[in-house]
Amino acid sequence: MEVLKNLPYELTIDVVITELKMRHISSQIKEIVKDVLKKATDIARPKAVYEQFYIDEISENRVVVNGIEFKSHILSKNVENVGKVFPYVVTAGQELEKIDVDEGDMFSSYILDLIKELILSKARESFEKILFKNVNIEKGSYMSPGSLNDWPISEQKKLFDLLGDVEKAIGVKLLPTFIMEPAKTVSGIYFPAEFDFDSCMLCLRENCPSRKAAFNPALYKEYTGKKV
Ligand code: SF4
């Protein structure tokens, strides 16, 4: 398992303020953002683990990697011609969990949560660049257990089994509910891809605040054989 212990990221106060999407930013709000951002960036150490594996077996609804069987039709379709896959976990890091903001101070807590989310997002961007360079691919996409009904979150356990001792390597624990701790952590399988696949393109959930790509009816039909 490859371990990346201090993923580079850059997060400015302007980026945080833009993400707040507020019409008016008072000097008081700016000060709170500045203070929480400093606390976070002083200690944040985003990390990642990944590994590369050849696919052992593949059929319509399953992919076997290093003896571990993942059950997903969409994953199978995505990796049918690629040969290799790259399971990963990226985390904003448990250091951020030690930051104290007054629990009754809802606004500071909200800012802290947003900053953690942005650090994770920036860390994923730098992880992606490092991964593609290290495994020598030009383009890739990923899928995560639990993002679509087709690949249930319970498969998270198999992903962690495939990678090894993730907790020891980067402090990310998989709970019996299959949720990862710290919460600002993402996991999944990268694969070489000609186009930018995103699970959101196949997701029917309406009004999802985390949607990253528009629903694509043609792709949905191609992957599931169903019309919407
Ligand atoms: S639309 Fe929302 S729920 Fe659906 S895959 Fe994207 S982020 Fe997940």
The mean pLDDT of 65-89, rounded to a whole number, is 97
Q: How far is the CA of 187 from the centre of ligand 1 (A)?
A: 14
Q: Where in the chain is the domain with CATH 3.40.109.40?
A: 2-197
The residue contributing the CA closest to ligand 1 atom 6 is 200
| Fold exhibited by the domain 2-197 | NADH Oxidase (3.40.109)
Q: What's the whole-model pTM score?
A: 0.95
Residue 226, pLDDT score? 87
Which atom of ligand 1 is the closest one to the Cα of 208? Answer: 2
The beta-strand segments (E) located in the chain are: 2-4, 47-50, 53-59, 62-65, 68-71, 84-91, 140-143, 173-174, 180-181, 185-192
Q: How far is the CA of 123 from the centre of ligand 1 (A)?
A: 20
Cβ neighbours, 10 Å, residue 190: 22
pLDDT at 218 over 80: yes
Cα–Cα dist 166/57, whole Å: 25
In the structure encoding, which two tokens stand for residue 94, read together? 């448990």
Share of the chain above pLDDT 70, in %: 100
8 Å CB contact between 77 and 167: no
pLDDT at 104 over 80: no
Which atom of ligand 1 is the closest one to the Cα of 202? Answer: 5
pLDDT digits (tens, 9 = 90+) for 175-204: 999 999 999 999 999 999 988 999 999 999
